[in-house]
Amino acid sequence: MTNRKGKEFRLKSRPIGVPAPENFLLAEVDVPEPGPGQVLVRNAYMSVDPYMRGRMIDRRSYAPPFQVGETMTGGAVGQVVAAGAGAPFGVGDHVLSMAGWREWFVSSGAEMLQKFDPIPGVGLQTYLGAFGMPGLTAYVGLTRIAELKAGERVFVSAASGAVGAVVCQIAKAKGCYVVGSAGWDEKCDYLTAELHCDRAINYKTVGDLDAAVAAAFPDGIDVYFDNVGGGHLEAAIGNMRTFGRIAACGMIEQYNATGTTAGPRNMILVVGRSLTIRGFIVSNHYDLLGDFLRDMAA
Amino acid sequence: MTNRKGKEFRLKSRPIGVPAPENFLLAEVDVPEPGPGQVLVRNAYMSVDPYMRGRMIDRRSYAPPFQVGETMTGGAVGQVVAAGAGAPFGVGDHVLSMAGWREWFVSSGAEMLQKFDPIPGVGLQTYLGAFGMPGLTAYVGLTRIAELKAGERVFVSAASGAVGAVVCQIAKAKGCYVVGSAGWDEKCDYLTAELHCDRAINYKTVGDLDAAVAAAFPDGIDVYFDNVGGGHLEAAIGNMRTFGRIAACGMIEQYNATGTTAGPRNMILVVGRSLTIRGFIVSNHYDLLGDFLRDMAA
């Protein structure tokens, strides 16, 4: 045992609807020494991501549910501060892991540790965003799942989010026409001014979302990157071009739902327009990490 | 002009809901002689398929809408009875075409004529079914769209229909576990007794379709061949295995709908289970025709 004390978040109770502070407990724990083959990591940043909402529910999914009373996990970036004999990483190494929601951790083999060499001038927190899992998610969704080609017409929901913002940037870098949606005017300004989206749609104020999407895509959509589900998915399906592809990355609109939610009423267009809707989980596509970091650096 | 008279069906008015006889007109016309490069074909059989319902509506789709007052088209099998100079086919040749709903036609180049050599003992009408477009549809959907592998768990809706029945047989031939749904007990008996499905579900009498599908697939579904949409699609999504594939071939449940229809309420599972829903139109996959006829003959 070191003399260090560390803080960690635990799930106190399962939220119903929108999570509240009382669903979580911030505990103080002793920090152990790393044993043989282990490293002690101090996290610098942790990530809070939409998929975590699903893990707060006790159901079978791609990521196992958080257990009440146990420490939560999630993406984090940190640095090795102590290494046991034969450990795969050395003191000072930077590592990404799934051992977030805590200040310190000793590796057990389940944290999916990945060493990386920070690029000068790129902040560590960027490796939880554009250069990390959200960025890789955007890259996987656009390249492998949606098979995006240069010059296509791309619609992105939750476009100012961690994943969506990288989707917009990759698509613009490929010479695509890109329209993003967001729920605040400030976010829409960011989409056009900073991310160089061709248009932005404020879905909260636009009224008829389907009409707004149709107006933004007079020739239809080739690729829709779906972070939202619900009304966005229906509006996208209604405006897809023949052979259009939908990368289903998340359905935020349903994460906090307490009842059943309506599905897209126009699924019949999936047949008539030969559409593909493909869901994916980034952890099944880590083999693209090398390609991703190389392309992002460029 | 020949001295022949022929009959043909025309669309008299656009049906609202279920089509009725008064929506159609049976007209008698003179049969012309074929000009240079043309053939005169006498149809032996024509096919009436679910997708034709969509063509009776005036909307943009993969197949252009039937026009009121004009002769309808559709799959047909016939024989060349006269050939102009330089025609690609000779008298006596058997041909598949999209020039159905009529007794005779002279080729104009738009009929997608395909010559074939009938296999002895196989009736001509079979080339509109198991050996024709419905069979090719089943083959394309299972092999190219759903990427079916030997031994997988397959669910088929409208399984006793022209397409569904071939889906069941191909899947069984690949050593798959196959469950079909139909709306009559007699059809369900046919599925298990004649097509050798492992189980059949009568969706009209089963009560809770989702529970019935779950009971038939204790380990989940790898491939769902969707001819129906609606409740079947939702029940399938709810029981898909990770990386499951849905070939969206038709959504009969919606063809006669006069209002909007509910969509699957569990689309979020498409993300969590990395599902693929892919729609297709067989006419975009005629390149598989050779493989299909070779495999079917075997």
Chain B residues with a Cβ under 8 Å from any Cβ in chain A: 54, 61-62, 229, 233-234, 242, 248-251, 254, 260-281, 284
Tokens of B110: 């738009």
**Which parts of chain A have pLDDT scores under 50?**
none
Q: Do A274 and B264 touch (CB under 8 A)?
A: no
Q: Do A277 and B272 touch (CB under 8 A)?
A: no
Query: What is the distance in angstroms between the Cα of A187 and the nearest Cα belonging to chain B?
Result: 25
Q: Do A233 and B267 touch (CB under 8 A)?
A: yes
To the nearest whole number, what is the mean pLDDT of chain B? 92
Query: What is the distance in angstroms between the Cα of A150 and the nearest Cα belonging to chain B?
Result: 22
Q: Do B234 and A263 touch (CB under 8 A)?
A: yes
Give per-residue pLDDT as tens, A275-286.
Answer: 999 999 998 998
Contact between residue A23 and residue A11 where contact means Cβ atoms under 8 Å apart: yes
Res A259: pLDDT: 66
Cβ of B235: how many Cβ atoms within 10 Å?
26
Q: Where are the domains of chain A?
A: 5-128, 133-297
Q: Which of B268, B274, B281, B284 to mutate to test the interface with A (most CBs of A within 10 A)?
A: B268
Res B260: pLDDT: 66
Query: What is the distance in angstroms between the Cα of A91 and the nearest Cα belonging to chain B?
Result: 36
Nearest partner of A275 among A245, A233, A236, A232, judged by Cα:
A245
Nearest partner of A280 among B233, B146, B273, judged by Cα:
B273
- Closest CB to B276: pick one of A229, A269, A276: A276
Res B269: pLDDT: 95
Q: Which amino acid is at A220?
A: G
Contact between residue B81 and residue B41 where contact means Cβ atoms under 8 Å apart: yes
- Chain A hits for B269, CB-CB cut-off 8 Å, are 279
Cβ of B90: how many Cβ atoms within 10 Å?
10
Res A27: pLDDT: 95
Nearest partner of A49 among A123, A158, A146, judged by Cα:
A158
Give the whole-number percent of chain B exceeding pLDDT 70. 97
Res B234: pLDDT: 96
SS3 B129: coil
The pair phi, psi for residue B296, each rounded to 5°, is: -70, -40
A94-106 residues labelled b (16+ CB within 10 A) or e (exposed): bbbbbbbbbbbbb
Q: Strand order of the sheet with strand B177-182?
A: A199-202, A177-182, A153-156, A221-226, A240-248, A276-279, B276-279, B240-248, B221-226, B153-156, B177-182, B199-202
The partner residues of A240 in beta bridges, in order of sequence, read A221
* Full DSSP string of A253-297: HHHT-SS--PBPTTTHHHHHTT-EEEE--GGGGGGGHHHHHHHHH
- Chain B hits for A276, CB-CB cut-off 8 Å, are 276-279
Query: What is the distance in angstroms between the Cα of A54 and the nearest Cα belonging to chain B?
Result: 9
Q: Do B275 and A276 touch (CB under 8 A)?
A: no
- Chain B hits for A270, CB-CB cut-off 8 Å, are 248, 277-279
- Chain A hits for B158, CB-CB cut-off 8 Å, are none
Q: What interface predicted TM-score (ipTM) does this complex get?
A: 0.80
How many interface pairs between A and B have CB atoms less than 8 angstroms apart?
Answer: 106
Q: Do A271 and B260 touch (CB under 8 A)?
A: no
- The confidence band for B257, taking pLDDT boundaries of 50, 70 and 90, is low
- Closest CB to A279: pick one of B248, B271, B281: B271
Looking at 3.40.50.2000, 3.40.50.740, 1.10.3720.10, 3.90.180.10, the CATH number of the domain B5-128 comes to: 3.90.180.10
Task: State pTM to two decimals.
Answer: 0.81
* Helix or strand holding residue B45 (H, E): strand B39-46
Give per-residue pLDDT as tens, B186-195.
Answer: 999 999 999 9
Cβ of B108: how many Cβ atoms within 10 Å?
9
A188-216 residues labelled b (16+ CB within 10 A) or e (exposed): bebbbeebebbbbbbbeebeebbebbeeb
Q: Do A248 and B271 touch (CB under 8 A)?
A: yes
Query: What is the distance in angstroms between the Cα of A61 and the nearest Cα belonging to chain B?
Result: 6
Any residues with CB less than 8 A from the CB of B72 and at least 6 apart, and which? B8, B9, B10, B11, B24, B52, B66, B100, B101
pLDDT over 80 (residue B147): yes
- Chain B hits for A278, CB-CB cut-off 8 Å, are 270, 274-278
- Chain A hits for B260, CB-CB cut-off 8 Å, are 265
- The confidence band for B298, taking pLDDT boundaries of 50, 70 and 90, is confident
The pair phi, psi for residue A212, each rounded to 5°, is: -65, -40
Q: Do B251 and A262 touch (CB under 8 A)?
A: no
- Report the top-level CATH class of A133-297: alpha beta
Range of lowest pLDDT (A167-176, A186-195, B18-27, B117-126): B117-126
Q: Do B261 and A264 touch (CB under 8 A)?
A: no
